[in-house]
Amino acid sequence: MYTPTVNAPAGGRVGTFLSGFGSGVGLLFRGLGIYARNPRLVLLGIIPGLLSGALYLAAFGTLIYFVSDLAELITPFADDWAGWARDVVRLIAALAFLGLGGLLGVLTFTAITLFIGDPFYERISERVEARYGGVPDEIEAPWWRSLRRSLVDSARLLVRSVLIGIPLFVAGFIPIVGQFVVPVVAALVAGWFLAVELVGVPFYRRGLRLPDRRRVLRANRPLALGFGVAVFLCFLIPLGAVLLMPAAVAGAALLARRTLGQSIAADSSNTAESNTAESNTAESNTAESTGAGTTGAQPTVEG
């Protein structure tokens, strides 16, 4: 079903990784192009994102409002310190809270928005795959069964992301490392989880579950990371998650096809339409030439 990556020589591994990473970034932009050029997809995708966006903006605004109180709550040992030392420690604590909130917000936003907009995003994914030939042997499952599986898998991913996010939160208190290394690691971790989450719909369509997603994406890790990190960085832009979630769903359909060894090289529907048009034109020309020949020819009667 999919082609595992082949171990490259040590000297070429970095280049191979960067090439795959760049291709993954490109899949997001291809999904954005498909989405932006189709007004119907825009209408399908905007409603769930707006609802989730309003919910998460309110939650993050609440966190910003209370972040200083939270910083004081977890740093009681600094109460008797000099003013500047106390302020520095609590500033680091506040930044760590905001960083953790942003990381968990991006990860849970994807799961919640996919839950709210499941029928909308499934239609977007279907239409994207239809452009490239559709899904062979597609499995039709009742909506309630798909919803149940999606909730279970999303919960499992959420638990994993929280378990990884907590150590990153603690590491955020380490000077320099917390401000420079942790954000890079967090982007890679969040990108991976986003990629695994977003390909859920096209994988379900093929009867594949969460373990299958992880296995297939691990075999194409640079590609999955490039796509996921690009989505993560776009989601950090104000309103980026609201506006770009449908494009991310479209790009995830391309990622699923690519990792499962199915073509995304040509627009099958357009090619089919073009071939049909050429065929109709050829038939029309043949009919016209035949008609012209028949009109111009004089029947020969044998006496």
- Tens-digit pLDDT profile for residues 33-63: 998 898 888 888 888 888 888 888 898 889 8
Alpha-carbon distances, residue 35 vs 39, 112, 127, 128, 134 (angstroms):
8, 21, 10, 9, 17
The pair of three-digit structure tokens given for residue 210, joined into one six-digit string = 């969460």
Q: Provide, rounded to the nearest whole percent, the portion of the chain with pLDDT above 70.
A: 77
Q: Is residue 41 part of a domain?
A: no
**pLDDT-above-90 percentage for the chain:** 20
Query: Residue 234: inside a domain, yes or no?
Result: yes
User: What are the helix (H) ranges across the chain?
Assistant: 10-36, 39-74, 83-116, 118-131, 143-171, 182-198, 200-205, 210-219, 221-236, 240-259, 268-296
> Six-digit token pair at 173?
């208190």
67: number of CA atoms within 13 Å, CB side? 20
- Residue 161's pLDDT is what? 67
Q: How far does Cα 249 stand from its chain's mean position? A: 5
Tell me, yes or no, whether 221 lies in a domain: yes
Domain count, the chain: 1
Print burial letters for 140-152: b (CB count within 10 Å at least 16), e (below 16): eeeeeebeeebee
- Per-residue confidence at 143, pLDDT binned at 50, 70, 90? low
For residue 157, name the pLDDT band (cuts at 50, 70, 90).
low
Does residue 14 form part of some domain? Answer: no
Q: Residue 300 phi/psi, 5° resolution? A: -105, 125
Q: How far apart are CA 99 and CA 119, in angstroms?
A: 31
Whose CA is closest to 172, among 258, 105, 98? 98
Q: Decide if 205 is inside a domain.
A: yes
* Cβ 1 vs Cβ 205: under 8 Å: no
In a domain, 231, yes or no: yes
> Would 71 be classed as within a structural domain?
no
Q: Tell me whether residue 243 is in a domain.
A: yes
pTM of the model: 0.66
**Domain enclosing residue 127, as ranges:** 99-268
Summarize pLDDT for 67-106 with one digit per residue, the tens. 888 888 888 887 778 878 888 888 888 888 888 888 778 7
User: What mean pLDDT, rounded, does the chain reach?
Assistant: 77
Residues shown for the chain: 303
